[in-house]
Structure 1
Amino acid sequence: MFSKGIMRTMGAAALSAGILLGGGIVQAQEEVWSDVVAAAKAEGALLVYSTTSRTAKAAEKFSGMTGISVEVVRLGEQDLIQRAYQESVAGVNDVDMIVAEDWVAARELLSNTGYFVNYVPPTARELFAERHQYPLVLGFINRVFGYNTDKHPDADPLASIWDLTTEDYRGRVMIRDVAITGEHQNALTEWVRRSDELAADYKSRFGKPLEMTEANAGLEFIKRFLENDAIIMTSDTKISEAVGAAGQENPPYGMFYVYSKHRDVPLQDLRIKDSRQISPTLGYYYPIILQLSANAKHPNAAKMFMEYLGTLEGFAPWADSPGVYSPNPNQVPFEGDMPFAWWEDRMWSYDLDFAAENRGIVLDTWLKYAQR
């Protein structure tokens, strides 16, 4: 059965059909890789749904090397999951693999139903930590809090996440709409799960206990944040450009935008920096997941492309900016960025099962105060 949290956050339309039971794992070690390569070249093509445009760049290089044609359809995180699910239910098996975010929802709708399976190709099996093989992780993304360095040239102004609920920040903090961002919903469930830590952080910052009208400190933050006239956006790019634009007297601040946008700092002369002191977390991180269609028309071509993406060459389109981290231990961080282990120690992720059960509560609270 689907969790109530996923049912409420992905929409009734995506869940109107019946489901299959169970999931699947395809093990690369059961195969002779040279046979996979030969079969892939005979198939000659594959179709990929992806949340990131960088997949198309990798596909172009892969096609040039192998002669295998790769069509990449870019979709938003929730659109990808719903489309793949609805097509699978209808017996439309055109897509061969997905490059997906929001694994909480994708696991429920695509993996646990058996429509998509985990596949571990040779490079990942040899080099990736086991926890990054099941499910197969292409890379990790981190999301940060940011400020304008023209306004704050000497010091990071952000001490606590609760600062963003104070009068000084009223109407000045931008965030991508939680209602359309599954990963934000997942991340905020961790704030619910670790409510005691948020309450302790409030007391440490202001010297008094947190007084709550919501059930826990995580939901209380959402309430206070939105009541402080947060600016709800539709794009991380727009957030980073607005925060970092030069010459502003009272620039906005950014919450939960992708750190990879800092690649545009030299190109656009952005005056933006991420907070390295805000407590109790510098933001959050999440995985990009690769999954193989259980009914793929071109399964071997998909397996070969998944193998390529796990190599340094295949990951190159993601490695050209900060904020994206391969599980391949041979991958060197982008110049000026920290290794993923550094971020992992200072950022929260989220518990998959807790997120699946509680993201509906997070979304309900968000909508309650966003629509007031």
Structure 2
Amino acid sequence: MCKKLIWVGVLFGIFLLSLYAGGSGETAKQGPSMAAKPEVWSEVVAAAQKEGKVVVYATTSRITLAAENFTKKTGIKADAHRLSEVELIERLNKEAASGITAADVVLIEDYPSMMETLVKPGYLVNYIPPSAREGVPKEYQTPLVFAFVNRIFGYNTEKYPKDPFQSIWDFTLPEWKGRVMIRDLVITGEHQNAFTELIRRSDELEKEYQRRFGKPLEKTEKNAGYEFMKRLVQNDIILMKSDTTIAESVGKRGQADPPVGFFYVFSKHRDIPKKNLALAYSPNIKPFIGYYYGMYLQLTGKAKNPNAAKVLADYLISPEGYKPWSDEMGFYSANTKVPPYPDDKPWSWWKEHLWTYDPTYAAEHRGEVLDAWIKYVQKK
């Protein structure tokens, strides 16, 4: 299974590199925006009703309920397709290369890939609907952020009543050998981006090693970021395909030596009561307790139903349209008018305790990180 995942990732990596080739490595800029001139919203809605349908691709399963709610409210049939981040980007690129435009609206992760392979060529365009203009801060409007997502470290509370971790370096210790689960970087673009940040901020990781163990880090790699990644993988890391499986495996009751979760989405904790999981996130890890990234709302450049796409975009950003995500933890709307989930910490707290990645650095270095990851996995 591990080799199969690596091979799939290598093929997709070659595909992306072919798209990146010829670029200058400079920061990706937002491509053309839809509705550069003023719109009469009532006319947009009327035109959307005539179109009568809209197709949305998304990396979140809750898009299905949102689409159903939209159809009930507007009478416009919304057809929702849930895809993984890699599947979504690959499908959009293949459709564009074939001259096909199947989707009208896209909820997409992986900012560097989105900008380089989809926005720059004009396959996706930014659109700021009325709900976003009214509630989303300007710094999150171009490209338009739909929500922020956090990934955390998790452990089994039945085995460990208290957080067993102090430092990110703890995951490389012998006591956790063969017990750390992570979604494979080969199939997870956001993990690739996150690990570039560990490389970019390797000095901080080196200082954290000194703090945790009271001695300097002895490196066999060029910096502490790569050293950490190598030690993590070679500690017999368990490569997974699904965050859901990670959360369930970590939180399953009755285990003598349960695994621990590395960088899985916090939203999976919504299943704790339903699945009777003994699961919690680790709030004490230094120098960060996980990472976050944006999920972006974009329209396709040649949408077949452009007005229905605009109306759906406006609906999804609104508090009403966002309800499928707002009643559980782990999703944080960019719209300040959407109230936070009461049983979760506010986004301001998470943002302070999480790392995110530098998009320019990630775009330039994620290929190197993925190459190193594959090399370490093959040698473990």
Q: TM class, shorter-chain normalised?
A: over 0.9
Structure 1 Cα separation of the partners of residues 296 and 30 of structure 2:
19
Match of 1:69 in 2: 77
- Call closer, same or farther: CA 1:237–1:8 in 2, change over 3 Å: closer
Match of 1:278 in 2: 285
Range moving further from structure 2, 106-115 or 86-95: 86-95
Shift of 1:332: 2.4
Match of 2:320 in 1: 313
Shift of 1:15: 6.5
Shift of 1:53: 1.5
1:179 and 2:186 equivalent? yes
Range moving further from structure 2, 312-321 or 139-148: 312-321
Range moving further from structure 2, 172-181 or 80-89: 80-89
2:126 to 97, 118, 132: 118
- Call closer, same or farther: CA 1:364–1:19 in 2, change over 3 Å: closer
Match of 1:205 in 2: 212
Shift of 1:89: 2.2
Match of 1:265 in 2: 272
1:132 and 2:132 equivalent? no
1:297 to 280, 295, 304: 304
TM-score normalised by length of structure 2: 0.92
- Contact 1:145/1:257 (CA < 8 Å) preserved in 2? yes
Match of 1:3 in 2: none
- Contact 1:28/1:120 (CA < 8 Å) preserved in 2? no
RMSD across aligned positions (CA): 2.0
1:21-48 Cα deviation digits (max 9, x unpaired):
9821124762111111111111111111
Match of 1:11 in 2: 13
Match of 1:232 in 2: 239
Q: How does 1:1-372 map to 2 (within 5 A)?
A: 10-13=12-15, 23-27=31-35, 30-153=38-161, 155-372=162-379
- Contact 1:23/1:115 (CA < 8 Å) preserved in 2? no
- Give the AA of the match of 1:31: E
- Give the AA of the match of 2:336: P
- Call closer, same or farther: CA 1:67–1:326 in 2, change over 3 Å: same
Match of 2:3 in 1: none
- Give the AA of the match of 1:71: D
1:137-191 Cα deviation digits (max 9, x unpaired):
11111000011111111x2111000000011111111111111000000011110
Secondary structure of 2:126's match?
Answer: strand
Structure 2 Cα separation of the partners of residues 12 and 161 of structure 1:
31
- Contact 1:45/1:301 (CA < 8 Å) preserved in 2? yes
- Give the AA of the match of 1:73: H
- Contact 2:10/2:186 (CA < 8 Å) preserved in 1? no
- Give the AA of the match of 1:70: A
Displacement over 6 Å in runs of 4+: 17-22
Range moving further from structure 2, 33-42 or 81-90: 81-90
- Give the AA of the match of 2:83: L
Secondary structure of 1:98's match?
Answer: strand
Shift of 1:94: 2.3
- Give the AA of the match of 1:80: L
Structure 1 Cα separation of the partners of residues 17 and 160 of structure 2:
47
- Contact 1:14/1:85 (CA < 8 Å) preserved in 2? no
* Number of residue pairs aligned between Structure 1 and Structure 2: 365
Shift of 1:335: 3.0
Structure 2 Cα separation of the partners of residues 12 and 217 of structure 1:
27
Range moving further from structure 2, 278-287 or 331-340: 331-340
Structure 2 Cα separation of the partners of residues 219 and 11 of structure 1:
20
- Call closer, same or farther: CA 1:369–1:15 in 2, change over 3 Å: closer
1:226-273 Cα deviation digits (max 9, x unpaired):
111111111111111111111111111110011011111111111111
- Contact 1:28/1:122 (CA < 8 Å) preserved in 2? no
Structure 1 Cα separation of the partners of residues 191 and 15 of structure 2:
21
- Contact 1:9/1:359 (CA < 8 Å) preserved in 2? no
TM-score normalised by length of structure 1: 0.94
Secondary structure of 2:145's match?
Answer: strand
Range moving further from structure 2, 355-364 or 48-57: 48-57
- Give the AA of the match of 2:138: E
- Call closer, same or farther: CA 1:90–1:19 in 2, change over 3 Å: farther
Ranges in structure 2 where 5+ consecutive residues have no aligned partner:
1-8, 24-28
Shift of 1:331: 2.1
- Give the AA of the match of 1:12: I
